[in-house]
Chain A
């Protein structure tokens, strides 16, 4: 007997809609590791673990504010990392120090889109910075936000 995520019924759609809104931006963008705007700024190396299928691509969106994280504004940067093992990483450079958050999904079939089942529940893995997890939807900005300081920074995210 039962779904919020559990009971897929009506709420599943809104859940899926929020997730997709948050994750879709990650799909819009292009290519490989993001590039420098300010060669003197900070850098962030994000590494994704647990990519058991060893294929497809990780679509990453790096946001510098809640609107960018929630898909309501352009993120600070995006990346598509081709997966060739159980980890994948990318380095974003030229970043201004400050608060950022990451949303990502594992594009297993390589079509650039977050796949969902017929009732709107994502069927491809997704994750957020701090390994934050929402309940039947994305985590909030405070849950996923982390500080980027001058120099080199890292984030480790479990994806599958």
Chain B
């Protein structure tokens, strides 16, 4: 598409008065990517069968000798069936990937998660089961949240298993050795089919906290490190916000109730929500040991999927990072369009620091860096920390093609950009054995190489990201871009 055609196609956007300088830049970069023949749709193509374990090829650099373990990653892997397809990126079948690293070599395997949803859709030869942004079709049989559970968002190693997590239903247990599905985990019989978010918060050497949200109610899950349930309490919320993530300090749970608010009707779950920026964002701070004790903060409207681990300053101020945008357009529009091969440049999520002071004041400071999939050195979860890790982009394709850390103390971004020929996935921090300093270790992140048409795995020195990967392995196959991962040391 030439620039004139491109801009013509955006006439509606311009008329609406939203052609910001950032958007104009993104449009220009998209034009360059299109002109160069880059086909990012590969990252959203279907994988039709499991991928047996196979060696990856080292194509650049030298892997760290003491890097050993398995990077497990989850994300949707199949979207289309003859009789009907999903309409939203978040509704594809969960695909568990294992990148296993030992002795400087890497192997890759991937296996679909055997959910009731996948079975029902396979049997119907159509995606009949409803999802986040996909309506049910004739032949749908889901009668509980877990019948529609795609187990496709994240993965949590716990109790010798992997739990593939969705958001609105139970964890699905996976065998880490062969990625076979062991079944859904009901944490207590009376809590079957309750929602369990894809982003639990693990205290270093402590408990695992999670939430499940349904309208103006939430369940607060507290699990031991072995995955055994310690408590589950239902709490009331002041509004029916969309909640994908939350954050925590050692003493607090922090729930961010953005003004994307559920209403009574809509063709799909996502369509039931409406964006009401004038209502602002409500932040609840709960005491972990007494959930009835809560403080309420109010900040301007923001939309976010993901937050970083929070910490408490000596003066009692709570801080956390958020990857937030000014509206939910990616959730409602962008993540649908990518499955149809359409990319509409929009303002991306950017990194922001949220501060909640003991006096009740709340502040959001923008950094001005495009950022999603925030991570950190997980050994410091809940403690004051200096760095955030995130994916980044300067436009041109959907999602991201760079990796960065942000130094909150030095106000400095350390970034590496693969350019629009790669779609970069979330990076996971792996501590260097024997090291203790923050970010002393590696960032492990796959990308979909659009020109090589293959999935790659990159290892970065977490403290020298701009220097580029220390090593890159390439698989023989391109897997669809994944969402979230976890590393298990050998």
Contacts and interface: CB of A to CB of B under 8 A. Distances in A.
B240 A133 contact: no
B489 to A, nearest CB: 28
A4 interface: yes
A134 B195 contact: no
B13 to A, nearest CB: 26
A135 B143 contact: yes
B136 A135 contact: yes
Interface in B132-163: 132-133, 136, 140-150, 153
A5 B190 contact: no
Contacts of A7: 132, 145, 167-168, 195, 214, 269
B219 interface: yes
Consensus secondary structure, chain B interface: loop
Interface stretch (A33-41, A68-76, A114-122, A149-157): A114-122
A71 to B, nearest CB: 17
B193 interface: yes
Contacts of A8: 145, 168, 193-195, 212, 214-215
Nearest to A123: B192
Contacts of A1: 90, 132, 153, 166-167, 198, 244, 305
A4 to B, nearest CB: 5
Interface in B179-226: 189-195, 198, 212-215, 217, 219
Interface in A11-68: 11-13, 19
A3 B195 contact: yes
Contact of B240 (A9, A19, A115): A9
B405 interface: no
A116 B145 CA distance: 13
How large, as a class, is the contact surface on chain B? 35 or more
How large, as a class, is the contact surface on chain A? 20 to 34
A135 B269 contact: no
Contacts of A122: 143-144
Contacts of B153: 1
Contacts of B212: 8, 119
Contacts of B189: 123
A126 B148 CA distance: 17
Interface in B234-251: 234, 240, 244
B420 interface: no
B130 interface: yes
B114 to A, nearest CB: 18
Contacts of B167: 1-2, 7
Contact of B143 (A5, A115, A118): A5
Nearest to B89: A1
B148 A118 contact: no
B245 to A, nearest CB: 10
A9 B215 contact: yes
16 contacts: A2-B148, A3-B145, A3-B214, A5-B142, A5-B148, A6-B269, A7-B195, A8-B194, A9-B272, A117-B190, A118-B234, A119-B219, A121-B193, A135-B130, A135-B136, A137-B143
The 4 A-B pairs of least Cβ separation, nearest first, read: A2-B132, A3-B168, A6-B148, A8-B214
Interface of B: 90-91, 130-133, 136, 140-150, 153, 166-169, 189-195, 198, 212-215, 217, 219, 234, 240, 244, 262-264, 269-270, 272, 305
Given A7-B132, A118-B194, 15 more contacts: A2-B133, A2-B148, A3-B168, A5-B142, A5-B148, A7-B195, A8-B212, A8-B214, A9-B269, A11-B272, A12-B215, A118-B190, A121-B192, A135-B142, A136-B142
